Amino acid sequence: MISRAEINRVFTLAKNSRLRCLLLAGAGLAAVSSGPTFAQSAAASSDSEATSLQEIVVTAEKRESTVQQTPFSITAISGDQLQQRGLSSLEDVAIQTPGISMKQFAPGETEYEMRGLPSTGGSSATVGLYLNEIPMAAPANSFQGKAMIDPTLFDLQRVEVLRGPQGTLYGAGSMGGTIRIITAPPVFNSFQAASQTTLSGTANGGFNWGQSAMVNLPLIDDKLALRLVGTDSYDDGWIDRIVVNPFPTGAGGTCGWIECTRGNVQGAPVVSRQNDINWERLQGGRAALKYQPIDTLTLDMFFMYQGMHTGAFPQVDASVGIDNLDHYQPNNIDTPFVDTFRIWGLTVNYDMGFARLTSASAAWNHTSTWIGEDTEAGRVLVSTFFGDTTPNTYQQLESDHTQQTSQELRLASEGNGSLQWLIGAYFSNFESISRSYTANPEVAYLSVGGAAANPLGIGFDQRNPYFIKQYAAFSEASYLFTPALKATVGLRYYKYTSELDSSTAGLFGPSGNATPVLASNTTSASGVNPKFNLSYEPSKDLTLYAQAAKGFRPGGVNYPPPANLCPGKNVTYVPDYIWNYEAGEKARFADGRITVNADVYYIRLYNAQQLLTLPCSYVFTTNVGTGESYGPELEVSARITKQLSVSVSGTYTTAHIVSVNSSLAGSTIGSTENLVPGIPLLNVPEYSFSEAVDYAVPLNEAVTLTARLNATTTGPSYDLNYYVERLPSYTIVDARVGLSSGRWEGYLFARNLTNKIAELTVDTMAYFAATPSLDFPAVTTPRTIGVQLNYKY
């Protein structure tokens, strides 16, 4: 048995983050092996008035359970905890949850990764997203296809984060894991209301405000209830746009492709300066109607709208240092971004006695439009490929519209018998249309056939309708061999077809002029995803489990590259898939005042979909070969006294390519990095840790003081623009203190207390071509200090 003194001594000797992380996992597993002794010691030394940690009921397996009883890696945060911790967005939740990494383009446009499986490349996410019963992570070959919506988290029931492949119950695109957002349902026979007001200020920016409200209306006793939620918020920007003229692009305003470097923009004459350009206004609401005509039948109807308008992406100029929070442009052109989504859902549950029949119908649409000031990139491209040195102006217009309808029908057994089973079928029909357009009449003469063949000087005009239909049948069954030993087997059969139709014109299109070149490519596949799980629960305080599961995401079709610049590249790519093997434990000690949940996993990734950037700046997806990912995950929570709680969580991830397809031998990822075994997978932090301390003490019979301090460390990772870049590690510290009294709560908070400015991604998609001389990373929000007032009726 390993004593706590020995563990502490080893931790003192551990000087590097890798060893610390491995020791964290080892210490957790050691605590499990010494469970009874540790539990008695903790119980003897803790405050006698301490109470057990809250248990959260989840439905990750399509039936009710608790986090501790669910035999795979899962984190759940209740609606009350979200409010107490000040978590208002899905990004806030992700940054404090081990095993999740993010790639953020703009507010509400974030890709999520789990367990070292990046979404970079391909047309689908590797992490699924569900809003109630509505699948939201769509397989789109467009800007927002892998970026998940970010609904406001006011008035939620809970958020569940399921780590590891969830292909059996949640299908394609969930091979790294699934995030489930569960909104608070309407309540019969009870009028309820709540509001939340937030006022704050951001360093280098201005004043922010937000208002959310909820009302629950019982319409017919025991039969009908309506719940309405609305949000309106404004966040001031903190990045300044500086326009200089003449703009120092290379020597004499012209340069070669790779050799092109920026001149000294800080020394150039300033024409204008606009402060706080990346402001954001968000307005939205949702309505939920619950109808129960008879005891065995329930209908849940749901609608949600959210609209976001920002002045610019949160991107800064790396050439002058990201801490300056400046963005230099040759022209004073606004770069707004508008994003809206609408969601409809109808879920019907019918209790048949022996089983519950569930029908989940859903439809949604998501539209984004934005403008990019691409003069600098355009000048470099035109100068390199056409020899033109005219100081032209280039403005990129982009739009994406995606929509999906889906239907799931499932039948799940009821009761507490030894055999539990579930069968179901799923269908979805997805469509997207993306459009990219830039033109300048000054360069019309460079077109094939001269200006007459392209009078508007179209540089690039591409329209890409994309369609995918998915079909699936799934089943999962579990059997209790003994009261403590349970085996679960799942299987999902899937089939999909996808089609990309494209129309491309312009100087950088296949025709070299305004004549569009049409192309159409289709791909399809089918397969089976199995799952095997064995769990052992010798007591209500300990669950041990082992699992093997397969996950996949669909293949797809690339945008056709300009044949004159990028010849001979594959247009389609096949699905990639994984086998995930894991073992873990979930333990409670000291009468439920301490929980230790730990696991280790190994993932083999086949036909890995990966982005490559060609020397001509074209970015495309191909199946690069085989990869692997492995590491430990650990979550520890402890209520030290009735007033004081602490939590620590962390993961260390090793993720890299282990073999490269022979057809890609000699290729590069980015323009200079060799595509060889051993290179890391993109956008996967090497490690992540989160620590929090919560304190709550009654000041008198009516008022309670609460305080929370938490820190999250994200390790280094790699991202791809024109080059592969290593993003440094960073730590974000948040603090929160408040008073609560009956229906009222008031908080003073500080986000990013140390004002850490860190790079989130360099692949920002804000200009129309990956260009060697340009680097505009998206960065973290500076220190924000404010107050929040909550009220419940």
Summarize pLDDT for 552-569 with one digit per residue, the tens.
888 877 766 665 566 556
DSSP H or E stretch at residue 290 = strand 280-294
Q: What percent of the chain has pLDDT over 70?
A: 86
pLDDT confidence of residue 16: 42
**142 vs 405, higher pLDDT:** 405
First-last CA distance in the chain: 52
Q: What average pLDDT does the segment 48-63 reach?
A: 77
702 C-beta neighbours (distance < 10 Å), count: 9
pLDDT confidence of residue 23: 35
The answer, yes or no, to whether residue 36 has pLDDT greater than 80, is no
Q: What average pLDDT does the segment 487-502 reach?
A: 91
**184 vs 618, higher pLDDT:** 184
The answer, yes or no, to whether residue 537 has pLDDT greater than 90, is yes
Summarize pLDDT for 217-230 with one digit per residue, the tens.
999 999 999 999 99
pLDDT confidence of residue 15: 37
The token duo for 72 is 């795979």
Q: What percent of the chain has pLDDT over 90?
A: 51
Give the separation between CA 647 and CA 690, rounded to whole angstroms. 8
Q: pLDDT band for position 256 (50/70/90)? A: low
Closest CA to 377 of 389, 362, 353, 394: 394
Q: What average pLDDT does the segment 261-282 reach?
A: 90
pLDDT confidence of residue 480: 95
DSSP state of 262: B
Q: What is the largest CA-CA distance in the chain?
A: 88
The answer, yes or no, to whether residue 104 has pLDDT greater than 50, is yes
pLDDT confidence of residue 248: 81
Domain ranges of the chain: 34-183+193-792
The answer, yes or no, to whether residue 49 has pLDDT greater than 50, is no
pLDDT confidence of residue 605: 94
**291 vs 382, higher pLDDT:** 291
The answer, yes or no, to whether residue 35 has pLDDT greater than 70, is no
Q: pLDDT band for position 373 (50/70/90)? A: confident
Identify the sign of the CA torsion 381, 386, 388, 389.
positive
Q: What average pLDDT does the segment 232-245 reach?
A: 94
The answer, yes or no, to whether residue 544 has pLDDT greater than 80, is yes
Q: What average pLDDT does the segment 36-52 reach?
A: 44
At residue 534's C-alpha, the angle toward residues 532 and 544, to 5°, is: 135
Find the range with the poorest average confidence among 96-110, 185-199, 686-700: 96-110
Length of the chain: 793
pLDDT confidence of residue 47: 45
Give the separation between CA 140 and CA 433, rounded to whole angstroms. 9
Contact, 552 vs 527, CB < 8 A?
Answer: yes
Q: pLDDT band for position 764 (50/70/90)? A: low
pLDDT confidence of residue 132: 93
The answer, yes or no, to whether residue 661 has pLDDT greater than 90, is no
User: Residue 702, SS3?
Assistant: coil
CA distances from 522 to 501, 525, 572 (A): 9, 11, 8
DSSP state of 221: T
pLDDT confidence of residue 174: 86
Contact, 110 vs 339, CB < 8 A?
Answer: no
Give the separation between CA 297 and CA 291, rounded to whole angstroms. 8
Q: pLDDT band for position 595 (50/70/90)? A: very high
pLDDT confidence of residue 319: 86
Q: pLDDT band for position 524 (50/70/90)? A: confident
pLDDT confidence of residue 781: 93
CA distances from 311 to 255, 277, 337, 633, 671 (A): 31, 5, 6, 39, 32
Spell 773-783 as b/e; 16+ CB within 10 A means b. Answer: bbbbbbbbbbb
Which residue is it, tokens 């035999």?
71
pLDDT confidence of residue 391: 63
pLDDT confidence of residue 251: 46
**410 vs 504, higher pLDDT:** 410
Q: What average pLDDT does the segment 162-182 reach?
A: 88
**384 vs 274, higher pLDDT:** 274
In sequence order, the 6+-apart residues with CB closer than 8 A to the CB of 771 are 260, 376, 377, 380, 381, 617, 722
Range with top average pLDDT, 43-52, 113-122, 569-578, 696-705: 696-705
Give the separation between CA 77 and CA 56, rounded to whole angstroms. 8
646 C-beta neighbours (distance < 10 Å), count: 15
pLDDT confidence of residue 515: 94
Displacement of CA 440 from its chain's centroid (Å): 36
The answer, yes or no, to whether residue 503 has pLDDT greater than 60, is yes
pLDDT confidence of residue 523: 83
Topology of domain 34-183+193-792, CATH: Maltoporin; Chain A (2.40.170)
In sequence order, the 6+-apart residues with CB closer than 8 A to the CB of 26 are none
Q: pLDDT band for position 664 (50/70/90)? A: confident
Q: pLDDT band for position 382 (50/70/90)? A: confident
Closest CA to 173 of 103, 122, 242: 122
